[in-house]
Amino acid sequence: MVDEQSVELGYLLYSALQDAPGQAASKETLSRIWSLELQWFTPQESASIITHLIAKGWLVKDSGMLSATPSLVLSRPPLGWRPILNSVISVKEFELGPIISESEPLSVPTVKAPVSRASNPEDSDLPPDKAEGSIPHLIEIISSSSGLQNKEVLRRAQRKRRALGPVTLWMALALVAREQGLEMDKIVSAIGPESS
């Protein structure tokens, strides 16, 4: 099984190394891609990330060029994926494990997004969204974990719903949690098996 840390770093490094000759790039190129092209980090944050990934063994330096450690699978991130600075800066030492082929599916938690009857009452032929019952508990988890007040969590979720269109409230709350850098396994389990 592939751990989440390897998957996230595989996404991050793929974003900068996918088109590089030999999948290697200079420190300046990595920093430029992450800070200027993708606008994920500031140039200073990008430089810190690169230094940290080299120190922890995720990036290998050879003749001034950087590449991912050979047994790390670089894979295309899902649409809308964005790295979280704290997660990247806090990665642990790379541990050499079995080399994983690119054909092996990655184990990445997913969240289903059914359309809620409550958000579209005229569509009465849709099944009820059983995850709606977990919304108060979900707001409480996000609030206590992020330090935001319940009202602010809900306000941000509603703003996401307005921006994204037909999105359930619990999905918008999950997006707020992701934006705050919270552990998504905890959020998914709070939504629970009722949503499946």
Q: What is the mean pLDDT of residues 100-114?
A: 39
State mean pLDDT over 13-36.
90
**Which own/partner pairs from 41-47 qualify as long-range (CB within 8 Å, at least 24 positions apart)?**
41/83, 41/85, 45/85
- Sheet with 65-68, edge to edge strand ranges: 24-25, 65-68, 59-62
Same domain assignment for residues 85 and 8? yes
**Who contacts 156 (Cβ-Cβ below 8 Å, separation ≥6)?**
148, 176, 179
Residue 38, pLDDT > 70, answer yes
| 48 confidence band (pLDDT: 50, 70, 90) | very high
Residue 142 is assigned to a structural domain of this protein: yes
Residue 29 lies in a domain: yes
The arithmetic mean of pLDDT across residues 50-75, rounded, is 90
In a domain, 95, yes or no: no
Separation between Cα atoms, residue 6 and residue 9, nearest integer Å: 5
**Averaged pLDDT for residues 159-175:** 81
What is the CATH classification number for the domain harbouring 60? Answer: 1.10.10
Q: Which residue has the tokens 């920093």?
A: 31
Is residue 160 situated within a structural domain? yes
Q: What is the rounded average pLDDT for all residues in the chain? A: 77
Domain containing 8 equals 4-89
> Number of folded domains in the chain?
2
